């Protein structure tokens, strides 16, 4: 029974993915962080901004998620990455790059979350804090200067959202895009 359930569900989240130039800027920050200690550093292809984590979703509910995504008003926006931070964790901290407050991003995430909860998806109740995870389980020799870690703030455009599948393949965490809703296809 357990095996059938796992074959009929997928671990899903909705995210904004970034172009290679933006990922290169993120990786430069990650390289500076590596100089301060050890951790489980995100692979370049896994760098993304999570808008909604859905968890295990039955295959027959994926169409409902896609419909919710299509219903969201998506306008092209510029995101500014302007700070680095960490969430304290037992066993090592989670380090991230943060995004300057964006009303367009907050509105997009709020609309998406509302549509998903209206469809009976259970989302995290904590306040949306837009960030890109650089590394988990980080143990540093000393506390770095966060402004120096960031270097210069940088910007990235965003005009679509993606439904992503998360799975472990040969011991590696792999995210695979399942569906995309873009500004020109979103229903207004």
Q: Exactly one of 10, 15, 29, 48 is catalytic; which is it?
A: 48
Which residues are within 8 A (CB) of 152 and not within 5 positions of it... i.e. 6 or more apart? Answer: none
Tell me whether residue 48 is one of the annotated catalytic residues.
Answer: yes
Q: Exactly one of 57, 131, 149, 175 is catalytic; which is it?
A: 131
Tell me whether residue 131 is one of the annotated catalytic residues.
Answer: yes
In contact, 98 and 52? CB cutoff 8 Å: no
Q: How many CB atoms lie within 10 A of CB 124?
A: 11
In contact, 165 and 80? CB cutoff 8 Å: no
Q: How many CB atoms lie within 10 A of CB 130?
A: 20
CA-angle at 164, arms to 100 and 22, nearest 5°: 40
Active site residues: 48, 131
């Amino acid at each position: 029974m357990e095996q059938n359930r796992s074959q009929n569900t997928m671990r899903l989240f909705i995210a904004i993915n970034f172009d290679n130039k933006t990922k290169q800027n993120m990786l430069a920050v990650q390289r500076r962080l590596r100089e301060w200690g050890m951790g489980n550093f995100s692979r370049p292809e896994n760098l993304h901004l999570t808008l909604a984590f859905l968890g295990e979703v039955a295959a027959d509910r994926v169409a409902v998620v896609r419909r919710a995504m299509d219903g969201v008003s998506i306008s092209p926006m510029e995101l500014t990455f302007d700070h680095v931070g960490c969430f304290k964790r037992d066993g090592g901290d989670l380090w991230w790059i943060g995004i300057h407050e964006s009303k367009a991003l907050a509105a997009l995430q709020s609309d998406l979350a509302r549509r998903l909860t209206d469809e009976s998806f259970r989302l995290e109740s904590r306040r949306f804090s837009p960030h890109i995870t650089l590394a988990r389980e980080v143990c540093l020799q000393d506390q770095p200067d966060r402004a120096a870690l960031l270097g210069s703030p940088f910007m990235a455009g965003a005009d679509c959202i993606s439904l992503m599948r998360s799975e472990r393949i040969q011991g590696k965490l792999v995210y695979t895009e399942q569906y995309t809703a873009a500004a020109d296809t979103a229903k207004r």
